[in-house]
Structure 1
Amino acid sequence: MLKEKVCIVTGGAQGIGRCIVETFAAEGAKKVYACDMNIDAMADYKERFSTVEAVSLNVCDRDAISAFVEKVKAEDGKIDVLVNNAGITRDGLLDRMSEKDWDMVIDVNLKGVFNMTQFVSPIMIENGAGSIITMSSVVGTDGNIGQTNYAATKAGVIAMTKSWAKEFSRKGAQVRANCVAPGFIKTPMTADLPEKVIAYMESKTPLGHMGEAEDIAQGVLFLASDRARFITGQVLKVDGGLVI
C-alpha cells in the first residue's frame, strides 16, 4: 500500500509508534524514518528492516527538525507521509497540575506537531501530494478527568488538522491532513494501570476489550495510503465504540 513512499513517524521507538513503523515497512514503503529521542530503543530497526532509518529527534527542537527535513529532502527528493505520533502525559487534577506539567505536555503534544508539520508540509505542497496523520485521542473529543493538559493538546491537534486540510489544498495540491483518535489501547503507557481500572475501561467499551497497537497502525496505514485519497480533515476514532 505504500510502495515508493517516503515516510516519517515521530515517537517511533515504542508502543503505537513502533507498530506504525513496522507496519509501514511491511507494506513496502520506500523509506521509513523512525524518529524518537530514545535512539537506543530503535537499535533493532537496522537489522530487521533495510528500509527503516532510526533518527534521534526532539520534536521541540526546531533547528534539529529543520536540519533533518532538509536532509530527507536532499536524499529522497520528497516526503509522502508524516505521522505525528510523539506524545507524553503528565496527568493530574486541575487543582494539582503544575505549570511545568502543563507546559511540557503542550510543548510536546501540540507545539511538536506544529513544528513537524510546518517544516514538512511545504515539501508536500511543492510535490503536489502528501498525507499528514496526527495522533489525537478520544480524550480530545470528549475530555477526561485528570487530563486537562493532555485533552487540550489532543483537541488542539484536531483543530489544527482541520485547518490544514483547508489550507494545504487551496492551490490544488493533494495534501491531506487527518487525525486518528485511539481509545483504550494496550501500550507501555497503559501497562502499569491497576487491574480494576483496566476492567472498568473494558466494561465501558462496547467491544469489551482493549485495543492493540496494530489496530491503530492499520487506521494510520489506511489514511497514509492512496486508498484514502479523497479523505481529509477527518478524525478516525479507533476505540471499540468507547465514544459513540
Structure 2
Amino acid sequence: MAAASKTVVLVTGANSGIGWETVKALLRSTRTYHILMGTRSLEKGEAALEALKKDVAETNSTVELLQVDVASDDSISDAFDKVQATHGRIDTLVNNAGIALDAACVYGDISMREAWNKAYDVNVSGANIMTHTFVPLLLKSSDPRLLFVTSGLASVERMSEAHYPVPPPIPAGWPKKAAVLPSAYRASKTALNMMMLSWHWVLKEDGVKVWSVSPGFLATGLGGQRASMARRGAGPASTGGELITTLIEGGKDADVGKVVGGAGILPF
C-alpha cells in the first residue's frame, strides 16, 4: 500500500471540469495526497493526466487513474475492489461526476424523459451508490470526509422567491419558445442536497464530515456549454477545485451538513 502515509482522495468525474481542477489544486497543495482520479474512460483519463503533468511540474503528491462509471453498478463495484486491494481505505470521497442534458433536450438530440432520467441516474443515484459502496473504506480513515458537488441552482428557497437566476419574463402561451432552462439539472441537484443530509445524519456518529459544495457559476463545459457560460460571465473552473480543496483541508469543518459556496453557506 504505497499511499499509506498519504491522504487518499477519490474524485469521480476527474478527467475534466471541476473534477480535474480539484486534482490540480490537490497536487499544488503543500500537503501530501494520493489522488484516485476517477474517470469513465481510461483514454480520456490518460489525456487528462498528461495535461496535469504539464500544469503541475512539481508536487509532493501522486495520482492514480481509477476507471469508474457512476451510472454502472458493476463499474463501481470493480473500482471498490481495486481500491480495497491496493489501498485498504480512502480518506475523502468527492462525488463530482455529473451530467446536464437540458440543452441536448431543447436541441432535439435526446428526449425529455431521457434528459431527466439520465440526470437523476448520474447526479443522484450514481453518487448515492458510489457513497454506499465506498463507506466501508471511508470508515477506515482517521479523518473521513464526504463531499457532494452541487449547484446554487438547486436552492428551493431561492427558487421560491424568484426564478433564480432571474431570466427575462417568459411570455404567456403554449408551446413556449425553446430556451435552455436547466430544469432537470437543478432538480437533480436539489435531490442531491437532500441525499447529502441523509448521509450526514447516517454517518454523524462515525465521525464522517459531510457537505454539499457549490463551486459557483463556472465555465466547466458541463452540458457542452463552456463557451456560452464564459460569455455569460462564468468564472474559471479552477475556483471550484480550490474551494473543494479548502473543504478537504479542514477550512469549512464548522459547516458540516450544509451547502457550502465560495461566499459562505447557501440556503437549501
TM-score range, shorter chain: 0.7 to 0.9
**Aligned letter for 1:133?**
L
Amino acid of the structure 2 residue aligned with 1:11 = G
Q: Which moved more, 1:77-86 or 1:28-37?
A: 28-37
Deviates more, 1:122-131 or 1:63-72: 122-131
Secondary structure at the residue paired with 1:177? strand
Q: Which has the larger Rg? A: 2
Residues 100-139 of structure 1: CA distance to partner in whole angstroms, max 9, x if unpaired? 1111111011111101111112322244531111110011
1:72 aligns with 2:83: yes
Written as runs of structure 1 = structure 2, the 5 A alignment for 1:27-106 is 27=29, 28-44=31-47, 45=49, 48=53, 51-91=62-102, 98-106=112-120
Residues 126 and 52 (structure 1 numbering): CA distance in 2 closer, same or farther, change over 3 Å? closer
Shift of residue 220 of structure 1?
0.5
Alpha-carbon distance in 1 for matches of 2:263, 2:230: 14
Q: Is the 8 A contact 2:219 2:227 kept in 1?
A: no
Query: In the TM superposition, what are the counterparts of 1:152-167 in structure 2 within 5 Å?
Result: 152-167=187-202
1:70 CA drift (Å): 2.5
Number of the residue aligned with 2:217: 184
Q: SS at the partner of 2:130?
A: helix
Distance in 1, matches of 2:32 and 2:11, equals 12
CA displacement at 1:228 relative to structure 2:
3.7
Kept in 1: contact 2:219–2:230 (CA 8 A): no
Q: Tell me, in whole angstroms, the C-alpha distance in 2 between the residues paired with 1:149 and 1:17.
A: 21
Q: Does the CA-based 8 Å contact 1:7-1:29 persist in structure 2?
A: no
1:219 to 243, 246, 252: 243
Residue aligning to 1:15: 17
CA shift at 1:88, angstroms?
0.9
Q: 5 Å matches for 1:91-130?
A: 91=102, 98-127=112-141, 129-130=143-144
1:87 maps to a residue whose letter is: G
| Amino acid in the other structure paired with 2:153 | V
Summarize deviations over 1:197-232 as a string: whole Å, max 9, x none: 755x44xxxxxxx32212111111111123444431
CA-to-aligned-CA distance 1:4-47 (integer Å, 9 cap, x gap): 21011111111111111111222244311111223222214268
Q: Percent identity?
A: 26
Deviation at 1:55, TM superposition (A): 2.2
For residues 225 and 150 of structure 1, do their structure 2 counterparts lie closer, same or farther at Cα, with a shift above 3 Å needed?
same
CA distance in 1, matches of 2:217, 2:101: 17
Q: Distance in 2 between matches of 1:237 and 1:125?
A: 26
User: What one-letter code is carried by the residue in structure 2 that aligns with 1:43?
Assistant: E
Please name the residue that 2:8 is paired with. Answer: 6
Q: Could you list the runs of 5+ residues in structure 1 that have no partner in the other structure?
A: 203-209
Q: Does 1:138 align with 2:152?
A: yes
**Unaligned stretches of 5+ in structure 2?**
54-58, 165-179
The ranges of structure 1 where at least 4 consecutive aligned residues each deviate by more than 6 angstroms after the TM superposition are 239-243
**Contact residue 59 and residue 116 of structure 1 kept, 8 A:** yes
User: Once superposed, what is the RMSD of the aligned Cα atoms?
Assistant: 2.8
- Asked whether 1:151 is paired with 2:186, we answer yes
Between Structure 1 and Structure 2, how many residues are aligned? Answer: 226
Offset at 1:192?
A: 3.0
| 1:140–1:152 contact (8 Å) kept in structure 2 | yes
**What TM-score, normalized by structure 1, do the two folds share?**
0.81
